[in-house]
Structure 1
Amino acid sequence: MQVINSPFFNVFLAAQIYEGDNALFSNGTKVGYLITLMGDVHHIFPKQYLRKNGYNEKIQYNQIANFTYLDTQVNKEILDDAPNVYFKNAVESCENSSALYGNITDIATLKQNMEGNCIPMDVVNMDYTNYPDFLIARRKLMAKKIKKYYEHL
C-alpha cells in the first residue's frame, strides 16, 4: 500500500492540518499546502540509507512512522543522509542563526517544528541501529496528535 493511500497516515496528516503544522524544516510552509501542491513524502530514515544497512524489505523502510511531508527542495538537500547527520546539521545551522534545510534559523523554532511533525528530539543522535526505537517513539507521538485531533472533532 502506498503511504498516500494509507488511512492511518491520512488521519495523521488531517491532525497536522487541523493544528496548522508546518512541514519539516519549514517555518510558514504548511503541511496542507504541500499536500495540495504535491510536496514530497520523505523517509525520515532514508530508504537507500536503510537498505544499505540491512533493512531491505519494503515493509521495513516504508513504515508510516518513517514518513513526513517535506518541501521538494529540502528533500533533495537531505538526499540519503542518516538522521544523525542531517538533523545534527540542522541544529548546528540554527546555532549559527542560519538555515541549512528549509528556512528555520533558531533552535526554538526547530524544536517546535519537530514537535509538530512528531519527530523525537533524540533523532539527532540516531543512526540505523536506532531505527526500531525511533519507530516506537514516533508512533507514540503520532498517536498523541491523532488523539488530540479526534477529541476536537
Structure 2
Amino acid sequence: MTYLDKIIDTHFTEDYFRLTLPSELNSSSATSPAWYGYLAALNVLGTPMLFSTAPLAHHFAVGTSGGKNSIDKHHIFPKHYLETIGFINDRDRNQIANFTYLDYATNIDISDNPPAEYVQRYKNKLGEEGYRLACEQNALPIDFEKMDYMEFLTQRRILMAQTVRKAYKELCR
C-alpha cells in the first residue's frame, strides 16, 4: 500500500461518511469543500439534475456556457417561501443541503413556490417511481416536501454524504 493510499484510507472511514461529512455539510458557505465534493460525486455517478434526464456533468463540461440558458443553483425550499414561514436568517435559508441545480426552465417553473406545491406537479409528470428515483439520485428524502425544514436539512445532509460515499467507492474500483 502506498503512502497516499494509507492517507486516503485513514481519512475516508465509515465515521467520516456517517458523522464528519454530514457535519461539514452543515454550512451556508457557497465555496465549501463539502459542497464541491457532493457536486463531484453527482458528476462521477452521472446523476441527472432534479426533475430532469440531463446529467449535471453535461452542464459542467468544458465548452458549455453554464449561463442562464443552461442551469441555475436553486433553493429546494425557496428562500422567499422560507421567509414566509419564519426563516429570516440567510445562514438558515442558504444551507448547502437546501441547494440543487435545476435546468433554467424548471427553476423558473418552481420559482418561489413551496415544495408541497411544486413537487406535486413533478410527481404527476414523472410518476411515483420517477419521483422516487429523482429523490434517490439527488439525495432527497422521499416526501421531503412534507417535512419540517430543519428536519429536511438534517436528513438531506446524511443522504448527500451517502452519495459522496457511493461515488468514492465507485472511484476506488
Tell whether 2:144 aligns with 1:123: yes
Per-residue Cα deviation, 1:104-132 (whole angstroms, up to 9, x for no partner)? x3322221111110111121323xxx000
CA distance in 1 between counterparts of 2:60 and 2:165 reads 22
What are the ranges of 5 or more consecutive residues in structure 1 without an aligned counterpart? 95-104
Task: Give the distance between the partners of 2:151 and 2:45, measured in 1 at CA.
Answer: 26
Kindly tell me: are residues 54 and 35 of structure 1, through their superposed partners in 2, closer, same or farther at Cα, counting changes over 3 Å?
farther
Find out whether 1:8 has 2:34 as its counterpart: yes
Q: What are structure 2's unaligned runs of at least 5 residues?
A: 1-27
**1:149 corresponds to which letter in structure 2?**
A
What CA RMSD, in Å, does the superposition of the two structures yield over aligned residues? Answer: 1.6
Alignment coverage as a number of residue pairs: 137
Q: Normalised by the size of structure 1, how large is the TM-score?
A: 0.82
1:85 is matched with which residue?
117
Which structure exhibits the higher relative contact order, with contacts defined as CA atoms closer than 8 Å and separated by 6 or more residues?
2
Counterpart of 1:106?
127
* AA matched with 2:150: P
Counting aligned pairs with the same residue, the percent is 36
Deviates more, 1:30-39 or 1:134-143: 30-39
Question: Would you say the 8 A contact 1:65–1:139 is kept in 2?
Answer: yes
Q: For residue 91 of structure 2, what is the aligned residue in structure 1?
A: 59
Runs of 4+ in 1 over 6 A off after TM superposition: none
Report the CA distance between 1:2 and its aligned residue. 5.2
Measured after TM superposition, the shift of residue 15 of structure 1 is: 0.6
Letter in 2 for 1:119: L
Residue 61 (structure 2) pairs with residue 43 (structure 1): no
